[in-house]
């Protein structure tokens, strides 16, 4: 399983959702379900994408590496935000009264438009990564520099 913070910061996920750390703490974003979701999404795009991303030690060494690195990080933020948005309306109570322990929720989620935009961005960045994979094959290409060659004549006898 991947370490989610290698792919995305929790602040980036919260920024995509427009929430604070108080509303969605790091502990909630660090659940295995989000790491597994990002891992499976990246593997679905390309079997080699994660190893390519992890192999980029200094982002921006080449244009292709920078594009891959940046796109994976942005996609990962939106993938986690997409998954978190499934339960986001439940995380936003309208009022909390401790006097008789009551809690009321919004009739319609105040995050409705945010959730729609997060899902659009998730789809957009997934397509960006898929196009990036199509344009640049991330698998290693082995180039043969030398091969067996048979001369037309015997170099010793000359015939």
- Give the mean pLDDT of 139-157: 57
Q: How close are the terminal C-alpha atoms of the chain, in Å?
A: 64
Q: How confident is the model at residue 138 (pLDDT cuts 50, 70, 90)?
A: very low
- Give the mean pLDDT of 10-14: 96
What is the pLDDT, as a whole number, of residue 56? Answer: 84
- Give the mean pLDDT of 40-52: 93
Domain ranges for the chain, please list them: 4-135
What is the pLDDT, as a whole number, of residue 125? Answer: 95
Task: Return the higher-pLDDT residue of 107 and 150.
Answer: 150
Residue 141 to residues 26, 46, 144: CA-CA distances in angstroms? 40, 16, 10
Helix-then-strand count for the chain, H and E:
6, 2
SS3 (DSSP) at 113: helix
- Give the mean pLDDT of 35-47: 95
Handedness of CA 129, 131, 132, 133 (dihedral sign): positive
- The pLDDT tens digits of the residues spanning 67-125 come to 889 999 999 999 999 999 888 776 666 666 676 666 666 555 677 888 899 999 999 99
Residue 133 has pLDDT above 70, yes or no: yes
Task: Return the higher-pLDDT residue of 133 and 148.
Answer: 133
């Amino acid at each position: 399983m991947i370490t989610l913070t290698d792919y995305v910061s929790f602040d980036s996920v919260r920024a995509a959702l427009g929430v604070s750390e108080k509303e969605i703490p790091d502990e909630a974003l660090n659940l295995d379900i989000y790491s597994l979701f990002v891992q499976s999404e990246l593997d679905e795009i390309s079997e080699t994408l994660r190893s390519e991303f992890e192999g980029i030690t200094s982002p921006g060494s080449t244009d292709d590496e920078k594009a891959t690195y940046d796109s994976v990080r942005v996609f990962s933020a939106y993938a986690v935000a997409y998954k978190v948005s499934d339960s986001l309306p439940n995380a936003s109570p309208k009022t909390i009264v401790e006097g008789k322990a009551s809690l009321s929720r919004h009739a319609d989620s105040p995050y409705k438009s945010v959730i729609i935009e997060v899902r659009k961005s998730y789809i957009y960045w997934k397509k960006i990564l898929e196009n990036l994979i199509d344009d640049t094959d991330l698998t290693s290409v082995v180039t043969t520099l030398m091969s067996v060659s048979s001369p037309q004549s015997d170099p010793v006898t000359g015939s």
